[in-house]
Chain A
Amino acid sequence: MIRLPLVIGGLIVLALVAMAASAGWIFPDDPMTMVAEPLLWPGQDPAFPLGTDSLGRDIAAGIFHGARASLAIGFISSSAALALGTLVGAVAGYRGGRVDDGLMRISELFQAIPQFMLIIVLLVIFRPSVATIILAISIVGWPAIARLVRAEFIVLREREFVQSCRVIGMSGPAIMLTQILPNALPVLIVSGTIQVATAILMEAALSFLGLGDPNLLTWGGMIGMGRDQLREAWFVVAVPGLALLITALGLNLLGDGLNDLLDPRGRRA
């Protein structure tokens, strides 16, 4: 059976990883340096296939190096959000009662504030850098994952195979880790993939607003810097915009595809 979304999503993500890995090798120079006339159109000069921006920087180099920054920020912040969200959700769902109440009130505290506003506030306090951007995106990302994991643990905790482990005397942490978590893994993989896309878009939005790391070239930053020339040189915004669109699409397709693939109902029962 051909799983088209999974294949397309997987190929897009693979291509991105390849771009990020080869960036320093295909474009060894700093992508922030001016290398040509400003605002060369794509195709105008074969040396700069995607043109140059208003400061004469190579857009193709920016896309490749930007892929590196986007993927790094996306993956690290999602991993952190996933780790914290899973820990909190697992404990809350398995223990229940007051522990659950307490942990869920804390997560609601984060969810009550609009996500993007919370990130901006955090960055204004901490000053934007790669580390603080990753931290801020993780902080707003974990509550949603915690809720998802919690729901999964509440369902699985009541299943007979979990209870049969309680009867043999298995400890709570061992049950969570060896019995419930493997069965909750599909949910984690899928939400983790979507979270990477969300994180990349958030970072782009931050860079667009000028809250990105000033020493790092990212797609969002490129869009932000190109917006003044939107009417005369729209490609400066369109090229990184397209890269973002394809990335988000690819990650979402991959997440959806994995969801279908890992859904136990879709497998032989």
Chain B
Amino acid sequence: MTPLLSVRDLSCRYETRDGPLWAVRDVDLDVMPGETVGLVGESGCGKSTLARCIVGLTPASGGSIRLDGEELLTRRGPSLAQRRQMQFVFQDPFASLNPRRRVEALIREPLDVHRIGTPAERTRRARELMERVGLHPDWGRRFPHEFSGGQRQRIGIARALALSPRLIICDEPVSALDVSVQAQVVNLLDALQRELGVAYLFISHDLALVEIFAQRVAVMYQGRIVEQGSSAEIWRNPSHPFTRTLIEAIPIPRVDQRSF
């Protein structure tokens, strides 16, 4: 099976006063269709930069990113057709929704940009999506500030789903939420994957969460991927010292996590 997303030798460098800083260095990463790959690491290790490079928000310094075999790192960035295949869920559900737009408009926006269907069809699709992510479709006339953090993240997920992408990159989608709400949002993502076959690149600093949710895990440390493998494997047998530190840093006993 060919990977849906294939990252090779990807580097991203920032120029600073003290010389270049490598936020991402020589990263190789694959995501297969329909699977969830967890990307874990401490804050500042480059996982968000990697995610932003993939969707073209941050320019990469070198390497290759292929989506379905087609290169994304061209001079013009990802094409509209390529963008349709991959969407992004942001970390902060308060900052990632335009405060002056109504929820229905926010969810419709991707369809408007890609000119999919008639305006009436787009509105119907937005209502369907709201229902799908667990929001009442009649709430579409409201503004984002009228919703809770978890509900807002559902809006963000509905917006990402609007184009029926094959890959959704989730940049710490639940770390800004309460623990109980985290579980609800992760369960929603899981249900959507079963139903739609969408693949996730799930970024988190919470190894316990990734272990449950992802089939494969990549551990990132100081801009490099230091360990990659199936979740169970990494959990049982961490080879890199940093992975061991991460596992030891989990405060809760393992039995309790089964409640997810």
Which residues of the other chain, B, contact A169 by a CB distance below 8 angstroms?
78, 80, 83-84, 110, 113-114
For residue A215, CB closer than 8 A to chain B, the reply is no
Closest B residue to A182 by CB, please name it.
B100
In the assembly, what is the distance between CA of A20 and CA of B201, in Å?
A: 63
* Interfacial chain B residues near A33, Cβ < 8 Å: none
Q: Would B83 and A160 count as touching, CB distance under 8 A?
A: no
Q: Within 8 Å CB of B83, what residues of A? A: 167-169
Query: Using a CB–CB distance below 8 Å, which chain A residues touch chain B?
Result: 159-170, 174, 179, 182-183, 264, 268-269
**Does chain A have a CB within 8 A of B145?**
yes
24 A-B residue pairs with CB within 8 Å: A160-B91, A160-B95, A160-B96, A161-B97, A161-B98, A161-B99, A162-B98, A163-B90, A164-B97, A164-B159, A165-B98, A166-B56, A167-B56, A167-B57, A168-B83, A168-B87, A168-B110, A168-B163, A169-B78, A169-B113, A179-B98, A182-B98, A182-B100, A269-B145
* Min C-beta distance of A65 to chain B, whole Å: 41
Contact A167 B87 (CB under 8 A): yes
Shortest distance from the beta carbon of B79 to any chain A beta carbon, whole Å:
8
Which of A161, A162, A163, A183 is packed against the most chain B CB atoms within 10 Å?
Answer: A161
- Cβ–Cβ < 8 Å partners of B213 in chain A: none
- Kindly state whether residue B190 has any CB partner on chain A within 8 Å: no
Q: Which among B56, B84, B90, B99 is the interface contact of A164 at CB below 8 angstroms?
A: B90
- Per CB-CB distance, the 7 closest pairs between chain A and chain B, nearest first, are A160-B96, A169-B83, A168-B110, A160-B95, A161-B98, A167-B88, A169-B80
Give the chain A neighbours of B170 by CB distance below 8 A: none
Q: In B43-74, which residues have CB < 8 Å from any A CB?
A: 55-57
Majority SS at the chain A contact face: helix
* Residue numbers in B under 8 Å from A165 (CB-CB): 98, 109, 113
Assess whether B92 is interfacial by the CB under 8 Å rule: yes
Q: Which residues of A contact B100 (CB under 8 A)?
A: 182-183
> Is B96 within 8 A of A164, CB to CB?
yes
Interface size on B, residues (CB 8 A): 26
Chain A min CB distance to B56 (Å): 7
User: What's the Cα separation between A160 and B90 when bound, in Å?
Assistant: 7
Residue of A whose beta carbon sits closest to that of B145: A269
Our count of residue pairs bridging A and B at CB distance below 8 angstroms stands at 59
B222 vs chain A, min Cβ distance (A)? 25
Candidates B91, B92, B99, B113; contact of A168 at CB < 8 Å: B113
Q: How far is the CA of A208 from the CA of B33 in the complex (A)?
A: 76
A167 to chain B, nearest CB (A): 4
Report the Cα distance A162→B92, complex, angstroms.
13
Q: In chain B, residues 89-142, which have Cβ atoms closer than 8 Å to a Cβ of chain A?
A: 90-92, 95-100, 109-110, 113-114
Enumerate B141-193 residues with CB–CB distance to A below 8 Å. Answer: 145, 156, 159, 163
Residues of chain A within 8 A (CB-CB) of B163 are 168
Interchain CA distance A21-B120 in the complex, whole Å: 44
Residue pair A167, B55 in contact (C-beta under 8 Å): yes
Chain B residue numbers with a CB within 8 Å of A168 are 83, 87, 109-110, 113-114, 159, 163
Task: Tell me which of A166, A183, A269 contacts B98 (CB under 8 A).
Answer: A183
Taken together as a complex, chains A and B put the C-alpha atoms of A168 and B80 apart, in Å, by: 8
In the bound complex, residues from chain A placing their C-beta under 8 Å from that of B57 are 163, 166-167
Contacts of B114 in A (CB 8 A): 168-169
B191 to chain A, nearest CB (A): 23
A187 to chain B, nearest CB (A): 14
Nearest CB on A from B234, distance (A): 29
